[in-house]
Amino acid sequence: MSRPEKKLVECFMKRKALFVVRDSAEVFINNFDNQNDVFQIPIRVEALDRVYNEFLDLQTEIEKYDDPEKFEEHMQERATFEARYGSAKANHPPANFHLRLPKIDLPNCSRGAQKDFYVDDFLSGADTVESAIQIRQEMTAMLSAAGFPLKKWASNSPEVLVDIPEEDLAFVPYHDLQDDQSVSTLGLIWDPRIDMMSFKVQLPLPASVLTKRKIMSYVAQIFDPFGLVGPIIVIAKLFMQRLWALKTEAGDSYEWDCPLPPRLQSKWKEFHETLDTIASLRIPLCVTIANATSFQLHFFSDACCYVRSESAGIVRVQLLTSKSKVAPLAKQQTIARLELCGAVLASNLYKKVAHSIPKPAEFFCWTDS
């Protein structure tokens, strides 16, 4: 079987699997139950969007490699798929439909439901204990009215949890807390006693013989959603970039399970030994001074954001988030272009942070040229 024929068979198999996912999403959306399925709708719609985009790519490949006489047949398949996709998109309720389910006047719920949910985890905060209790009570009332009681409550302030049944807490009461008791959220570890975050890194010892697949599996285990250990992650990215560019003596790319050259294996093992230190990092969850009178966000062109807060002459500066990319190897880039790419990365980071920050703040963007 020639390479184009293999490619065509592979595309047909993938397309058949996409049809199964599409049919499942369509059935769910068309039989939507606004009481029981409301939080599943955004997930199913996202899956439908992903299936549609993958279908277009596969269909393009099929039309490229298949018999030209079947072009009309493929056009009909494309039109049918697009029609069914458009119909399902038109029928589904909006992604924020759950915000209108309970007809209750709760002022803190709208923003909390829109911005403070990550899948099924509710993560929020307040400047005072009273405000935190109010948010907790209102979110509980709204979601309970829709049939979704919130469980596993945790807070760095015991007063916020004082009237919650023990079975609804994420851990035992504070006076019984053990030193190693913590809460896992967003792939990170939060210790509510000291209000600090840490990373859960439990990498095995590096294999005696390293391959691209092995190293990629190690890198994938370092989960950093906020970019707080960006300088470490970027080293791993640069190393992976070297592996992609690595060629054998015959000029071919290294296979996934092909042993790497001894020099690169040694380099990775040296770096691997330092990764366990990430677990010892302790990062304060609160990034500002209490009762701050000045609140600034500073964005730098290497795509990191710092919070500067001030109160009574005391200034605190804390890293909030960062984002990093490595320059492509395929095309040589000028320093000026790389600096512009860094500025674009920082501006995109600014949009995300500005959209997420509830407090009014001054924004400053900086470049080093």
**Are the C-beta atoms of 243 and 260 separated by less than 8 Å?**
yes
Sign for the CA dihedral angle at 357, 363, 368, 369 comes to positive
pLDDT-derived band of residue 34, with 50, 70 and 90 as boundaries?
very low
Spatial separation of the C-alpha atoms in residues 129 and 133, rounded to whole Å: 6
**What are the CB-based long-range contacts (under 8 Å, 24+) for 115-118?**
115/356, 115/358, 118/185, 118/186
Is residue 263 classed as helix, strand or coil in its secondary structure? helix
CA distance 284 to 191: 10
H helix or E strand, kind and range, residue 189? strand 188-191
Identify residue 22 by its one-letter amino acid code: R
Distance CA 275, CA 291 (A): 37
Distances (CA, A) of 19 to 11, 320, 333: 12, 42, 42
> Which strand (E) or helix (H) includes residue 271?
helix 262-274
How is 284-312 classified by DSSP, letter by letter?
A: ES--S-TT-SEEEEEEETTTEEEEEEEET
Q: How many other C-beta atoms lie within 10 A of the C-beta of residue 190?
A: 20
Percent of the chain exceeding pLDDT 70 equals 73
Instruction: Please compute the mean of the pLDDT values over residues 114-123 and round it to a whole number.
Output: 77
Per-residue pLDDT of 329-354, as tens digits, reads 878 888 888 888 889 999 999 998 98
**Weakest-pLDDT range from 101-110, 136-145, 301-310:** 101-110
Do the beta carbons of residue 47 and residue 21 sit within 8 Å? yes
- Report the distance separating Cα 324 and Cα 344, nearest Å: 12
Looking at the chain, the whole-number percentage of residues with pLDDT higher than 90 is 14
What tokens were used for 265?
């294996």
SS3 content of the chain, % helix, strand, coil (to 5): 50, 15, 35
72 DSSP β-pair partners? none
| pLDDT tens per residue, range 189-215 | 888 888 898 888 878 888 889 999 999
pLDDT by residue (tens digit) across 285-302?
888 888 888 899 999 988
What's the rounded Cα separation, in Å, for the pair 228 and 270? Answer: 22
Residue 322, token pair as written in the block: 């960062």
* Burial class of residue 298, CB neighbours in 10 A (0-12, 13-18, 19+): middle
Strand partners, 366: 300
CB distance 75 to 123 below 8 Å = no
With 70 as the cut, is the pLDDT of residue 26 above it?
Answer: no
User: Phi and psi for 267 in degrees, rounded to 5?
Assistant: -60, -45
Residues in the chain: 369
Residue 298 region by backbone torsions, left for phi larger than 0, else alpha for psi between -120 and 50, else beta? beta
Confidence at residue 149, expressed as pLDDT on a 0 to 100 scale: 84
- The pLDDT assigned to 93 comes to 47
Token pair for 1: 């079987």
In the beta sheet, which residues pair with residue 202? none
Q: In whole angstroms, what is the distance from residue 232 CA to residue 168 CA?
A: 37
